């Protein structure tokens, strides 16, 4: 198991493991580690918005929706402490990773404008 700690916002708010970027998302429906590349065609889920009145996160490329509730329940185990998040990935602890920056949509930073 690989344990990684990174920032929830600003520079270094994205960890890239095995080519897959992850960010920490704070939505009105819950907080969770979000794979930032859409499983459909790799679209930027870090720019996704919540479908109004639902807990569905909509990819900006082809508008496929993902359940936030399911992501919170079944996602990457993680805990946030202040502006840092520590997550446990089902990867060998020798897996190389980089820490980068991804802009986040308003809906992924707690709905703040």
Residues that bind ligand FES (CB under 6 A): 38, 40-43, 59, 61-62, 64
Cβ proximity to ligand FES: between 15 and 59 the closer is 59
Nearest approach in angstroms of CB 45 to ligand FES is: 7
Backbone dihedral angles phi then psi of residue 38, each to the nearest 5 degrees: -60, 135
Cβ proximity to ligand FES: between 25 and 85 the closer is 25
Cβ pair 22, 63 in contact under 8 A: no
Tokens describing residue 33:
């580690």
What SS3 state is found at 86? Answer: strand
Nearest to 64 by CA among 88, 48, 46: 48
Tokens 């919540």 belong to residue:
50
Nearest approach in angstroms of CB 58 to ligand FES is: 8
Nearest approach in angstroms of CB 65 to ligand FES is: 9
Cβ proximity to ligand FES: between 12 and 35 the closer is 35
């Amino acid at each position: 198991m690989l344990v990684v700690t990174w920032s929830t916002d600003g520079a270094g708010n994205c960890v890239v493991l095995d080519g897959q970027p992850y960010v920490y998302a704070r939505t009105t429906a819950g907080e969770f580690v979000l794979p930032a590349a859409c499983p459909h065609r790799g679209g930027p889920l870090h720019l996704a918005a919540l479908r109004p009145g639902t807990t569905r996160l909509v990819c900006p490329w082809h508008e496929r929706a993902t359940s936030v509730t399911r992501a919170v329940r079944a996602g990457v185990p993680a805990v946030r402490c202040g502006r840092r998040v520590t997550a446990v990935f089902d990867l060998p602890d020798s897996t190389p990773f980089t820490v980068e920056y991804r802009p986040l949509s308003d809906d992924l930073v707690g709905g703040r404008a």
